[in-house]
Amino acid sequence: MGVTTDLEDTTLTLYANTITNKAHTKGTYRLIANAIYDSVDSELGYTSIEGNDRYETAIKLSQSKFDKADTVVIVNGNSLADGLTATPLATYKKSPILLTNGHNLSKETKYEIKRLGAKNVIIAGGNISVKDNIETELKSIGISKIERLGGANRYDTSLKIAKYIDEKCFDIKDVVITGGSGEADALSISSISASKKMPIILSQKQDINDSTYNWLKSEQLEDAYIIGGKNSVDDKVLEKVDKITAKDIKNNRIAGKDRYETNAKVLERFYGKDLDTAYVAKGKELIDALSTGPIASMDNAPVIIVGNDLNQEQVNVLNSKNAKSIVKVGGGIQNKVINKVISLLSK
């Protein structure tokens, strides 16, 4: 439980049982897991959004941002790819992403839809991923319009979502391409792709399928980014897409030696020095952070993924940024890692 204490006109916020007497200058100081940073910026705030499971975490994320929403996006909580490619759509619609187990909606999720006053639902995923009976459940709680964007697989679903965005939301000029198995890469780019109105297109490693490529070609693209290394998206894909973009994209691959370094490079490439907010999620089990993208995008905030420690690339990039607020999403992140992120972003 936090305790606020005044020391020499200095406010200290205590989150543990001990505190050092390092407060020498006026400001706000936070002690987390027995470690104090005596130069934490006075505006820095720390919040944790975590439910008992992925479904509850999605609800809590929704509650953190939305008092109401006309539209809600529903995805299978076990299908990370569908949720991530839906992020630019959800952001444009000013909608949260809520989760289903694929067979039914939890009563808590139904309550959240009612709380939001939503009348429209977009289901991302085919009827294998999200069963048809869920549409019946949605109608029973007053949803008047249900649209389903789903294909035979994740690649087709990402294309259907992109087409929907182009036809009903905004004209697509730029896209992001990630590997169909590179969920961490898609999570890293999800927030900024939504902010910059770039749909996320999934590609197989060696080639982008014909239907997707032909549609992209018809869009007369200005620019494209490849997120992830060659083990995720081969150079053949980059070279193929480069032929149909107005700009040269040969230097538009953003990749590191692993998911964490790629995440750091996304942060470095797309975000300025001063951040209002940064979201932090677990890098190995990404499902808790599935619904983070639209929330982070609305705050113009990056999603930082972390492991048991920060690698040097992350340290270097975070140390070059400032943030006013840190939001941890989901469980399984060690306090020492959060403390490092806070320290690096607090100047």
- The closest of 92, 100, 109 to 75, measured between CA atoms, is 100
CA atoms of 140 and 149, how far apart (whole Å): 21
CA atoms of 122 and 95, how far apart (whole Å): 10
- What pLDDT is recorded for position 310? 97
The size of the chain, in residues, is 347
Kindly state the DSSP code that residue 107 receives in the 8-state scheme. Answer: H
- What pLDDT is recorded for position 44? 78
**Which segments of the chain are extended strands (E)?**
3-7, 10-14, 28-32, 35-36, 45-49, 71-76, 97-100, 120-124, 145-149, 174-179, 200-203, 223-227, 253-254, 274-282, 303-306, 322-329
- What pLDDT is recorded for position 36? 34
Q: What is the mean pLDDT of each run of 10 residues along the chain (347 residues)?
A: 36 35 38 36 79 95 98 94 92 97 97 98 95 97 97 95 98 97 92 97 96 98 97 97 98 97 98 97 86 95 96 97 96 94 92
Sign of the four-CA dihedral 86, 88, 89, 95? positive
- The closest of 278, 277, 333 to 310, measured between CA atoms, is 333
- What pLDDT is recorded for position 236? 97
- What pLDDT is recorded for position 43? 59
β-sheet bridge partners, residue 326: 46, 278
DSSP string, 262-291: HHHHHHHHH--SEEEEEEEEESSSGGGGTT
- What pLDDT is recorded for position 168? 97
Domain boundaries, the chain: 3-36, 45-345
